[in-house]
Amino acid sequence: MRPKAVLIIEDNHINMKLVRTLLQIGKYRIFEAVDAETGIEIAKEQRPDLILMDIQLPGIDGFEATSILKSSAETRDIPVVALTSYAMDGDKKKAQEAGCEGYICKPINTRTFIDKLTAFFRDAKTGGANDNR
Ligand code: MN
């Protein structure tokens, strides 16, 4: 089976490096963008199986970027998982309202990250999974 492709939209290079490393361990194919505009372009061109969306981004933020992706026929079927700050409780609700299928809290738990992603893929068609910890 072809490895699943994940697009990471994240402007913090330390978080990007961490997520990239974890996805490499999980044998995913990886696309990367450091801002939402580039991420949306890559989403349209490459049609990844899942998008990991940082919320705080330069320019268009992760909520708005998700709304844009979900309002386009080209990209609305791609599950979006928000990378939300653990401290920012309201972000989970806003992520959901923007159309995200789920969220993963930052700081990222390196031991459970790949299991959570696997769950998102499994549950994407049945209403999503969330990072309740
Ligand atoms: Mn950020």
Could you tell me the distance, in angstroms and rounded to a whole number, from the CA of residue 58 to the centre of ligand 1? 8
β-strand partners of 102: 81
pLDDT tens for 42-51 read: 999 999 999 9
User: Minimal CA–CA distance to 107: which of 11, 22, 23, 15?
Assistant: 15
Q: Is 27 contained in some domain?
A: yes
Structure tokens at 63: 């909520």
Give the span between the Cα atoms of 133 and 45, in whole angstroms.
Answer: 35
Range of the structural domain that residue 39 is part of: 5-118
Give the span between the Cα atoms of 128 and 121, in whole angstroms.
Answer: 8
pLDDT tens for 19-41 read: 999 999 999 999 999 999 999 99
Could you tell me the distance, in angstroms and rounded to a whole number, from the CA of residue 80 to the centre of ligand 1? 16
Structural domains of the chain, count: 1
Q: Grade residue 121 by pLDDT with cuts at 50, 70 and 90.
A: confident
User: What CATH code is carried by the domain that includes residue 49?
Assistant: 3.40.50.2300
Q: Is 130 contained in some domain?
A: no
